[in-house]
Amino acid sequence: MPYVIGLDLGGTKTAAGVVDGEGGVVLSRTVPTPARDGAGAVLAAAAELVRALQEDAARRGLPVVALGIGSAGVIDSGRGVVVSATDAIPGWAGTRLTAELTARTGLPAVALNDVHAHAVGESWLGTGAGMPGVLFVGMGTGVGGGYVLQGKCLEGSTFTAGHVGHFASPFAWEAGVPLPCSCGGAGHVEAIASGPAIFGLYSRLRGASAGATADGAATDGPVDTRGVYRLAADGDPAAAEAIRRGAVAAGSAIGGLANILDPAVVVVGGGLAFAGPLWWTPMEAAARAELLRPLAGLPIVPAQLGETAAIRGAARRALALLPVPEGSHA
């Protein structure tokens, strides 16, 4: 049986796994992404990781024949090139991902966006397995997603599809002003529903309720969204409101998207999906409140594959490069 390597190249870590034809991860390795050192260093680290896995696999007698790359940024999956990216990795836009990594590893390669890879993985092997339409939404530091129809992720005409964080949310407004968004726009879902947005809202609410200098600085408070969640669980009203508002914004967006796409299942991943019921319960209630009547029974479930989802999704794309004697993975 041939094996492929799935690579999940993100802004903070680069993970890869040797994956079999059924999606099993038989070997894996992870390294920090040297993002600050720029695109060249990130590519070099990724190539070294893949080569190390090739050696691991060779020692086990496993034939690795292709490489699938799930990468941060908007990825032209036809050409294997980074079309655009945030400045998390300086110089990442324009990187010829597949050509560079094929040259350094000898493996034929295919690339796609990392969130799209995540969606493909979950629809292949997670709760959505076997379902015709799977809407994956990742709610964490950023907000993103992917819609997988008949096993194929909708990438869009410029490969930008799935930017679930960047459409208007009625919840992303304060005092008549839209909240600034990471994309440079304002009033978007991500500006109220992402982990950092929830943390920012908590800081503002806390400043207001303390009647303090109102600079929003929570000097002796929690340092991250997880800390805000813990405070909410302990009954802190500002923390509880921040979590609730972020969750309702997320749910409202998810419900609206479901009405547009009519998926068979919605799979919610990212750190917030696993924060706990103070986030999940209002998120799901807000999503269901949006749903049109025929969608009333829509399953809305947490993601199942954890950190291996993008590795497996990228691997599935690589498997699709191979000749398919039995037609088992078209």
What is the binding site for Zn ion (CB under 5 A)?
A: 166, 181, 183, 185, 188
| Complex with Zn ion: residue 2 or 256, whichever CB lies closer | 256
Using an 8 Å Cβ cutoff, are 269 and 309 in contact? yes
> How far apart, in whole angstroms, are the C-alpha atoms of residue 233 and residue 251?
20
> How far apart, in whole angstroms, are the C-alpha atoms of residue 247 and residue 244?
5
C-beta of 266: minimal distance to Zn ion in Å? 21
| Complex with Zn ion: residue 65 or 183, whichever CB lies closer | 183
C-beta of 166: minimal distance to Zn ion in Å? 4
- Give Cα separations from 300 to 194, 275, 277 (angstroms): 19, 16, 14
Maximum separation of any 2 CA atoms in the chain, in Å: 70
| Complex with Zn ion: residue 19 or 143, whichever CB lies closer | 143
| Complex with Zn ion: residue 172 or 228, whichever CB lies closer | 172
Which segments of the chain does DSSP mark as H helices, in order?
39-59, 97-105, 114-125, 190-193, 195-210, 225-233, 237-261, 277-290, 309-319
C-beta of 245: minimal distance to Zn ion in Å? 17
Q: Is 159 left (phi over 0), alpha (psi -120 to 50) or beta?
A: left
C-beta of 183: minimal distance to Zn ion in Å? 3
C-beta of 165: minimal distance to Zn ion in Å? 6
C-beta of 167: minimal distance to Zn ion in Å? 8
| Complex with Zn ion: residue 108 or 178, whichever CB lies closer | 178
- Give Cα separations from 204 to 14, 154, 168, 188, 223 (angstroms): 34, 37, 21, 18, 14
- Give Cα separations from 264 to 131, 139, 293, 300 (angstroms): 6, 20, 14, 9
| Complex with Zn ion: residue 168 or 261, whichever CB lies closer | 168
| Complex with Zn ion: residue 30 or 86, whichever CB lies closer | 86
Task: List residues bridging with 149 in a β-sheet.
Answer: 133, 152
C-beta of 57: minimal distance to Zn ion in Å? 40
> How far apart, in whole angstroms, are the C-alpha atoms of residue 50 and residue 29?
9
